[in-house]
Amino acid sequence: MSDSQFIIKPRWIIPMDGKKTTLEQHVVIVDAGVIQAVVPKNEIPEWAIDWETIDCSQHALLPGLINLHAHSSMNLLKGYADDYALMPWLNDHIWPAERQWVSKPFVHDGSLLAGAEMLSGGITTFNDMYFFPQATIEAVKRLGMRAHIGLVIMEFPTNYANNANEYIRLGTEVRDQFKSDAGISFSFAPHAPYTVSDQTFEQISTLAEQLNMGIHTHLHETRAEIQQSLDEFGVRPIERLKALGILGPSTVCAHGVHLEPAELEMLATQGTHIAHCPCSNLKLASGIAPVAAALRAGLNVGLGTDGAASNNRLDLWQEMRTAALLAKVADDNAESVPAYTALEMATINGAQALGLQDKIGSIEPGKQADLIAVRLDDLNSLPCYDPISHLVYVAGREQVTHTWVDGQLRYQRTEEGQAVFADIDTEELRSIALQWQLKIQSSQS
């Protein structure tokens, strides 16, 4: 699954070039993990004529999807505590479970399961935020995908660290160890305004500038969070973060559900990015983010799944469709967030938010060959008048048949429907999941 020189021949190419382009009768030529050319199929250069050809004649080819907000290892708590609002969910269920179970093996195994789920659904890059980041990196490297690792920081003790300074020290040590790895990048991840002090935020702002790192945090996810900030600090969380130097062009704010028009304008002026997580926001009854207004204000909005404990799927196809439909209702305008915009949110917008837009997020010569093929000839996808529309409103993750990262085929769904990963067997993944399920269930009885 690793030939370095090959040509992909799809029915359609959706390059995500900002021009709403759909290419037919074209091919993508890949060498050593890099896209060399996108040309009509009858104009393949002589130097590539004899290269291996991959037939995707019933497929749309598009850039790998980018999950802009995830807590990957929480896959092991998928379905553990459903149907609660955010703060009861955290305080009464998730944080107690994490105190009991979170460890390097938990994070490694949960990240392995999450990464496999994401790869099988066409996600090639994810922006993570969790404890024991080295364990996540080890899982990511085994799967061969790309990850932006958020080095989580809080004030209170967990199984990972005892205080904010220790979180920062442990995180920067991991960053120093893996900073030269081409598939791994880093940001500081202060968890949220309600778990991080002013002093720590100021320290993070300084360190991020010194180390040329981004920042990844939760912001305005619930009304309760905003009221708590008003009661404690006299300002809304976004005002506090601005004053502390947290907002800027290298900052990704997850959720942004409850943002006022003036706050959207301010974030756009700052160049801050939003990771919209519609399914998690709906499941936790956190609210509906003003995405159409954010886009009109000039904000860069990407899509995230959040963790599987609050979603419960790491499925950007579901997020794209939900984001587009919710925006239309919230904005009272059927033209809000059309299909192409939803695809941008899942691809190039996420790349831009992570500072990786020159490397991934679109199909262009010189970029890394992070690519996915989506089959659109099954009965449920016919007829197909517009592949862009179908990718958002019809297709599901089960229609992803090929996932390449750096030109390496990391996942393939066979004609018989079998999931095949490049470097791990599905039975090993199944065994890992069932072992953890048995451990956690037995502790509850």
Residue ranges in the chain whose pLDDT is less than 50: 1-2
| CB contact at 8 A, 203 and 222 | no
**pLDDT value of residue 389:** 98
Please state whether the peptide bond connecting residue 300 to the residue before it is cis, i.e. omega within 30 degrees of 0: no
**pLDDT value of residue 90:** 87
Pick the CATH number of 5-63+362-413 from 3.60.21.10, 2.30.40.10, 2.170.150.20, 3.40.50.300: 2.30.40.10
Which residues does residue 234 pair with via DSSP β-bridges, in sequence order? none
**pLDDT value of residue 377:** 96
* Residue 301 tokens, joined: 């909005």
Which residues does residue 402 pair with via DSSP β-bridges, in sequence order? 373, 412
Which ranges in the chain are annotated with CATH 2.30.40.10?
5-63+362-413
* Residue 17 tokens, joined: 């070039």
**pLDDT value of residue 207:** 98
Q: Name the amino acid, one letter, at 287.
A: G
Element (H, E) at 430: helix 426-444
> How far is Cα 31 from Cα 42, in angstroms, rounded to an integer?
19
> How far is Cα 143 from Cα 110, in angstroms, rounded to an integer?
13
**pLDDT value of residue 445:** 56
Q: Which of 167, 174, 173, 235 lies closest to 196 in space, CA to CA?
A: 167
How far is CA 345 from its chain centroid? 10
| CB contact at 8 A, 267 and 253 | yes
| CB contact at 8 A, 284 and 51 | no
> How far is Cα 144 from Cα 115, in angstroms, rounded to an integer?
9
> How far is Cα 126 from Cα 147, in angstroms, rounded to an integer?
5
Per-residue pLDDT reduced to its tens digit, 69-119: 999 999 999 999 999 888 898 899 998 999 999 999 999 999 999 999 999
**What separation in angstroms does the CA of 112 have from each of 75, 122, 125, 250, 429?**
9, 15, 14, 27, 8
CATH architecture of 65-353: Alpha-Beta Barrel (3.20)
The C-alpha angle with vertex 432 and arms to 416 and 275, in degrees rounded to 5, equals 80
Which ranges in the chain are annotated with CATH 3.20.20.140?
65-353
**pLDDT value of residue 417:** 86
**pLDDT value of residue 3:** 64
What global pTM score does this model have?
0.97
